[in-house]
């Protein structure tokens, strides 16, 4: 007999499926029946194409009116983040995009869309350093929102402030010295930074995060799908925040799925990939190739390959698919940053990169 709860679940699934069908159909026709708002069109005239597409995606995130399809925000946020990566080296345009997103948030009545937009703001704050203009806008607008009538999203704004380390005091403007201090503190994050040289180094010259993470990977039981399957999202966020604060004590009690996901997130977030497309590693030989890398970069790559080669050599891949080919398929996009080079990369388009990573892992598994 079907209960009331079961009926509600089925109704939710039906609405969700209908929403996704409409969503995919609209994307197929490039949103021909859903033109952007005039303000978005005006911005599109003087911004780069990627920035204009960002605005349109954000506009659609916050146009969701019902709470049922809130999960769709995740897909749209992913699209927007990919577009933001295209303009990450253009701070003025990026700041304008960010400020306009925040302004739309304040005026958005939709609950689902509003919270989707807030999630987007938090993600952006995690990836991109603050600029002077952005900090001033935070001080003028977001503080008012935090103490306004709408109290529901306060915790989200506080998380953004915490992420950017710029919680202003009541009615106190941000000074030039405060801006410089905020930028310095933001750019001195311990682990998930853009530049590998900024990481805290161990006596061996290897970043502490890499050493601790790889040590934990060698002690925890390997779960089927390590590196291929993303670990629990809440645990990833929790451990990432703990790592940023210098707490590595819990890494050895977390699942290998979470550890593998943290490693991939870190590799994918570096400004320069560990491996560059177009390099013929096999012709040069392993030793010569490693010597061409930067000192820290070479040591990090060597340490990662050593651990992966050990997994293969010990035969632990029999139950966890840890053979060189499987590992290369998963890690090649992170090592080469192929997700930035190809809009829709496939195994076929990355065949050379995958083959190179497979060869490198095989060299360390002999």
**pLDDT computed for residue 152 by the predictor:** 36
pTM over 0.95: no
Residue-wise DSSP of 223-285: PTTTTTS---HHHHHHHHHHHHTT--TTGGGS-HHHHHHHHHHHHHH-SS-SS-TT--HHHH-
Could you give the domains of the chain?
Answer: 15-131+139-165 (no CATH), 205-339+350-364 (1.10.555.10)
Tokens of 50: 């990627």
Task: Compute mean pLDDT per 10 residues along the chain, 366 residues long, and list them.
Answer: 52 49 40 38 44 59 45 51 58 61 54 52 51 50 47 42 43 49 47 59 75 85 74 79 76 83 80 71 67 76 86 63 78 71 49 80 78
**pLDDT computed for residue 27 by the predictor:** 40
**pLDDT computed for residue 257 by the predictor:** 85
Residue where the block lists tokens 């990836």: 127
CB atoms within 10 A of CB 170: 6
| Cα(305)–Cα(366) distance, integer angstroms | 12
- What burial class does residue 366 get, using C-beta atoms within 10 Å of its C-beta: 0-12 exposed, 13-18 middle, 19+ buried? exposed
The DSSP symbol for 321 reads -
**pLDDT computed for residue 2 by the predictor:** 47
**pLDDT computed for residue 156 by the predictor:** 42
C-alpha dist (Å) from residue 175 to 43, 99, 147: 29, 19, 21
């Amino acid at each position: 007999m079907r209960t009331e709860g079961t009926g509600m679940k089925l109704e939710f699934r039906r609405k969700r499926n209908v929403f996704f069908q409409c969503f995919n159909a609209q994307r197929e026709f490039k949103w021909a029946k859903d033109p952007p708002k005039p303000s978005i069109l005006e911005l599109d005239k003087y911004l780069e194409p990627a920035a204009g597409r960002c605005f349109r995606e954000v506009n659609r995130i916050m146009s969701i009116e019902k709470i049922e399809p809130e999960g769709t925000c995740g897909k749209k946020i992913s699209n927007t983040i990919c577009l933001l990566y295209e303009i990450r080296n253009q701070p003025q345009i990026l700041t304008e995009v960010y400020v306009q997103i925040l302004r739309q948030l304040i005026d958005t009545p939709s609950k689902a869309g509003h919270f989707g937009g807030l999630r987007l703001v938090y993600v952006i704050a995690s990836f991109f350093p603050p600029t002077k203009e952005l900090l001033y806008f935070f001080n003028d607008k977001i503080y008012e929102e935090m103490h306004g009538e709408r109290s529901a999203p306060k915790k989200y704004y506080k998380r953004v402030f915490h992420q950017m380390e710029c919680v202003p005091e009541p009615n106190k403007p941000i000074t030039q010295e405060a801006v410089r201090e905020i930028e310095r503190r933001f750019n001195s994050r311990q682990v998930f930074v853009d530049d590998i040289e900024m990481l805290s180094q161990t006596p061996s010259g290897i970043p502490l995060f890499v050493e601790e993470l790889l040590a934990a990977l060698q002690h925890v039981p390997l779960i089927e799908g390590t590196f291929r399957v993303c670990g629990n999202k809440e645990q990833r966020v929790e451990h990432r925040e703990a790592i940023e604060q210098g707490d590595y004590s819990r890494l050895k009690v977390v699942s290998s799925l979470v550890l593998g996901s943290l490693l991939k997130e870190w590799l994918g977030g570096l400004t320069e990939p560990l491996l560059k497309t177009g390099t013929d590693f096999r012709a040069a030989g392993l030793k010569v190739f490693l010597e061409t890398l930067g000192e820290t970069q070479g040591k990090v790559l060597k340490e990662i390959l050593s651990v992966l080669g050990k997994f293969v050599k010990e035969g632990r891949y029999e139950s966890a698919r840890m053979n060189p080919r499987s590992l290369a398929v998963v890690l090649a996009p992170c090592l080469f940053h192929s997700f930035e080079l190809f809009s829709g990369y496939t195994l076929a388009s990355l065949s050379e990169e995958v083959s190179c990573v497979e060869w490198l892992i095989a060299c360390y598994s002999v």
